[in-house]
Structure 1
Amino acid sequence: MKRLFGTDGIRGLSGQYPLTPKEVYRIGLSAGMVLRDHYKDGPIRVLLVRDTRESGSSLGRMLTDGLRDTGVDVFDVGVLCTPSVAYLVQAHQFQSGVVISASHNPPEFNGIKFFTRQGRKWPDVWEEAIESHLTKTLKKPKGVEKGRLIPSPQLVEDYESFLIKTLPHKLDLSKLRIGLDCSNGANYSVAPQILRFLGASVFVMGDKPTGKNINVRCGSQQTDRLGQLVRKKRCHVGVAFDGDGDRVIFTDEKGQVIDGDFIIGLLAKHLKSEKRLKNNKVVITVMSNLGLRMALVRLGVRIVETPVGDRYVSEAMRKNRAVLGGEQSGHIILGSYLPSGDGLLTALHVLAIVARARTPFSHIVGWMRKFPQTLVNVLVKERKPIPEMNGVQSKIDDIRNSLGQKGRILVRYSGTEPLLRIMIEGPTKKIIDQYASELVTEIESTIN
Structure 2
Amino acid sequence: MALFGTDGVRGRANQGNMTAEMALRLGAAAGRYFRREGTGYAAHRVVIGKDTRQSGYMLENALTAGLTSTGMNVLLLGPVPTPAVGLLARSMRADLGVMISASHNPADDNGIKFFGPDGFKLSDEAEAEIERMVKDGVDLAEAPSIGRAKRIEDGRGRYVEYAKTTIPTGMSLEGLRVVIDCANGAAYRAAPDVLSELGATVIPIGVAPNGRNINLDCGSTQTDTCAQAVVAHDADVGIALDGDADRVMILDAQGNVADGDQLMALFATRWAAEGRLNGNALVATVMSNLGLERYLDDKGLRLLRTKVGDRHVVEAMRSGGYNLGGEQSGHIVMTDHTTTGDGLIAALQFLAEMVRTGLPAADLMHSFVPVPQRLENVRYDAGATPLETARVKAAIAAAEAALNGSGRLLIRASGTEPLIRVMAEAEDDGLLNRVVDDVADAVRAAI
Normalising to structure 1: TM-score of the pair?
0.95
For 2:97 and 2:282, locate their aligned partners in 1 and report how far apart those are by CA, in whole Å: 27
Structure 1 residue 384 corresponds to structure 2 residue 385 = yes
Alignment of 1:144-183 (within 5 A): 144-183=144-183
Alignment of 1:273-284 (within 5 A): 273-284=273-284
Shift in Å, 1:268: 0.4
Shift in Å, 1:144: 4.7
Give ranges in structure 1 of 5+ residues lacking alignment: none
Tell me which residue corresponds to 1:245: 245
Give ranges in structure 2 of 5+ residues lacking alignment: none
| One-letter amino acid of the structure 2 residue matched with residue 100 of structure 1 | I
| One-letter amino acid of the structure 2 residue matched with residue 159 of structure 1 | Y
Shift in Å, 1:357: 2.0
Could you say what secondary structure the match of 1:424 adopts? strand
Alignment of 1:191-340 (within 5 A): 191-340=191-340
Could you say what secondary structure the match of 1:106 adopts? coil
| One-letter amino acid of the structure 2 residue matched with residue 104 of structure 1 | H
Q: Do the aligned partners of 1:311 and 1:340 also contact (CA within 8 Å) in 2?
A: yes
Q: Tell me: CA distance 1:124–1:39, structure 2 relative to 1, closer, same or farther (3 Å).
A: farther
Tell me which residue corresponds to 2:30: 31
Tell me which residue corresponds to 1:141: 141
Alignment of 1:327-366 (within 5 A): 327-366=327-366
Q: Do the aligned partners of 1:290 and 1:425 also contact (CA within 8 Å) in 2?
A: yes
For 1:39 and 1:331, locate their aligned partners in 2 and report how far apart those are by CA, in whole Å: 35
Shift in Å, 1:133: 2.6
| One-letter amino acid of the structure 2 residue matched with residue 4 of structure 1 | L
Q: Deviations over 1:238-293 (max 9, x none)?
A: 11011011111111222111100000101101111111101111101100001100
For 2:100 and 2:366, locate their aligned partners in 1 and report how far apart those are by CA, in whole Å: 38
For 1:366 and 1:24, locate their aligned partners in 2 and report how far apart those are by CA, in whole Å: 43
Tell me which residue corresponds to 2:19: 20
Shift in Å, 1:385: 7.1
Q: Do the aligned partners of 1:260 and 1:326 also contact (CA within 8 Å) in 2?
A: yes
Q: Tell me: CA distance 1:39–1:137, structure 2 relative to 1, closer, same or farther (3 Å).
A: closer
Tell me which residue corresponds to 1:395: 395
Tell me which residue corresponds to 2:90: 90
Could you say what secondary structure the match of 1:5 adopts? coil
Could you say what secondary structure the match of 1:48 adopts? strand
Shift in Å, 1:153: 1.7
Structure 1 residue 8 corresponds to structure 2 residue 7 = yes
For 1:304 and 1:383, locate their aligned partners in 2 and report how far apart those are by CA, in whole Å: 32
Tell me which residue corresponds to 1:373: 373
| One-letter amino acid of the structure 2 residue matched with residue 185 of structure 1 | G
Structure 1 residue 41 corresponds to structure 2 residue 42 = no
| One-letter amino acid of the structure 2 residue matched with residue 301 of structure 1 | L
Q: Do the aligned partners of 1:79 and 1:186 also contact (CA within 8 Å) in 2?
A: yes
For 1:218 and 1:440, locate their aligned partners in 2 and report how far apart those are by CA, in whole Å: 27
| One-letter amino acid of the structure 2 residue matched with residue 361 of structure 1 | A
RMSD of aligned alpha carbons = 1.7
For 2:21 and 2:310, locate their aligned partners in 1 and report how far apart those are by CA, in whole Å: 30
Q: Tell me: CA distance 1:149–1:363, structure 2 relative to 1, closer, same or farther (3 Å).
A: same
For 1:29 and 1:367, locate their aligned partners in 2 and report how far apart those are by CA, in whole Å: 47
Q: Do the aligned partners of 2:70 and 2:139 also contact (CA within 8 Å) in 1?
A: no
How many corresponding residue pairs? Answer: 444
Tell me which residue corresponds to 2:58: 58
Shift in Å, 1:137: 5.6
Shift in Å, 1:160: 1.2
| Greater shift in the superposed pair: 140-149 or 54-63 | 140-149
Shift in Å, 1:401: 2.9
Shift in Å, 1:136: 3.7
For 1:433 and 1:184, locate their aligned partners in 2 and report how far apart those are by CA, in whole Å: 35
Shift in Å, 1:348: 0.6
Could you say what secondary structure the match of 1:287 adopts? coil
| One-letter amino acid of the structure 2 residue matched with residue 273 of structure 1 | A
| One-letter amino acid of the structure 2 residue matched with residue 141 of structure 1 | A
Q: Do the aligned partners of 1:175 and 1:355 also contact (CA within 8 Å) in 2?
A: no
Tell me which residue corresponds to 1:70: 70
For 1:216 and 1:430, locate their aligned partners in 2 and report how far apart those are by CA, in whole Å: 33
Could you say what secondary structure the match of 2:337 adopts? coil
Q: Do the aligned partners of 1:70 and 1:144 also contact (CA within 8 Å) in 2?
A: no
